[in-house]
Amino acid sequence: MGEVSGYLANQLGFSETGRYVLDNLIKPRISKIGICINDPFEECGKEIDFKHLGALELHEAVRKYWADFSDKVNPINDSLMEKSDCMLAVLDGGHALDDGVSGEIGYYAGIKRGPIFALRSDFRCGENIAVTINPQILGYIKKSKGTLVDGPGALEGWFTTIQNWYDSLKNTIP
Q: 10 with 22: CB under 8 angstroms?
A: yes
Residue-range domain boundaries for the chain:
4-40+84-169
With contact defined as beta carbons under 8 Å apart, do 37 and 5 qualify? yes
Q: From CA 20, how far away is CA 26, in angstroms rounded?
A: 9
Residue 116's nearest CA partner among 156, 161, 151 is 161
Give tens-digit pLDDT for 11-32: 999 999 999 999 999 999 999 9
**Confidence category of residue 173, pLDDT binned at 50, 70, 90:** low
pLDDT at position 54 is: 75
115 pLDDT higher than 80: yes
According to the CATH classification, is domain 4-40+84-169 in 3.40.50.450? yes
- Give residue-wise pLDDT tens across range 62-95: 888 889 889 999 999 999 999 999 999 999 877 7
pLDDT for the residue numbered 122:
85
Percent of the chain with pLDDT over 70: 98
145: region left, alpha or beta (phi > 0 left; psi from -120 to 50 alpha): left
